[in-house]
Amino acid sequence: MYFKLFPIGIVCSPFKTRQEVPRQGEEILPPVKIEIFSKYLTGLRKLAEGQSIYVLTWLHLADRKILEVHPKGDRRLALHGVFATRSPDRPNPIGLHLVTLEQILEDGIIVHPLEAIDGTPVLDIKPYLSREGIY
Amino acid sequence: MYFKLFPIGIVCSPFKTRQEVPRQGEEILPPVKIEIFSKYLTGLRKLAEGQSIYVLTWLHLADRKILEVHPKGDRRLALHGVFATRSPDRPNPIGLHLVTLEQILEDGIIVHPLEAIDGTPVLDIKPYLSREGIY
């Protein structure tokens, strides 16, 4: 049994490989554009510039067979199950990014900070709910 | 182009239909079990009871053709694009749930509060990072 995902858009970023993306370096990440495919643009209605949103991406370069990793690739740290980490390598490599919606364009949005390489497929956008901050 | 998702587990809940699930009623939601399929149990290693986690689900009853909804089904409210809402009806119906990991079992986990009906497929589990609370 499986489910089919269809990308709704794509990340346009200056970073072309996983190695180029700064880790936990959100201050130095540039704002990036997410192009939303025309058939899905209606779905953006009522989003507002300045609000916090989740962007869900498909981490297309991930290794889906991996179930344990050393956090941050540091072999001095004990092996963790992938569900205890944010490793892109995991059975269903869905990326979860909490970002600020900086600008709404005719064909997409500008967000910050988004750690994702150029060409990363985008699956979904959801508003952040303030009650999520209480955890 | 599409991507294939394979469920890693399944929600075991007393609620059998969408109508039965209380909306924004987390105080009255019972803790629910997520059964994790045996081949993925290794991925739970190093998760700790009491920590906050995201659970990603597949909202299998969603209507994927819908791009605009009245928030909370209230027709007095203006139409919103689905990406500006948490409606389950959306092109890629991935549910995002921030919950507390209450207990780790031999074949899964107990979490709270999880608004999802019995039999909902589970796609991924991720730790919540405290810096996400700053948004």
Across the interface, whether the CB atoms of A45 and B7 are under 8 A apart is answered no
Distance CA A78, CA A83 (A): 14
Fold of A9-62+88-127: Elongation Factor Tu (Ef-tu); domain 3 (2.40.30)
Q: State the pLDDT at residue B40.
A: 98
Across the interface, whether the CB atoms of A135 and B100 are under 8 A apart is answered yes
Is-above-0.90 flag for pTM?
Answer: yes
Q: Among B47, B57, B56, which Cα is nearest to B109's?
A: B47
Name chain A contacts of B84, Cβ cutoff 8 Å. 43-47, 127
B5 touches chain A (CB under 8 A): yes
Q: State the pLDDT at residue A24.
A: 62
DSSP-assigned letter for residue B101: E
Q: For chain A, give every domain's residue range.
A: 9-62+88-127
Is residue A99 over pLDDT 60? Answer: yes
The residues near B54 (Cβ < 8 Å, ≥ 6 apart) are A96, B96, B97, B98, B99, B124, B125, B126, B127, B128
**Confidence label for A23 from pLDDT (cuts 50, 70 and 90):** low
Decide which of A46 and A24 is more confident.
Answer: A46
Give per-residue pLDDT as tens, B4-51. Answer: 999 999 999 989 988 888 766 667 888 999 999 999 999 999 999 999
How far B20 CA lies from chain A's nearest CA (Å)?
Answer: 22
Distance CA A55, CA A116 (A): 11
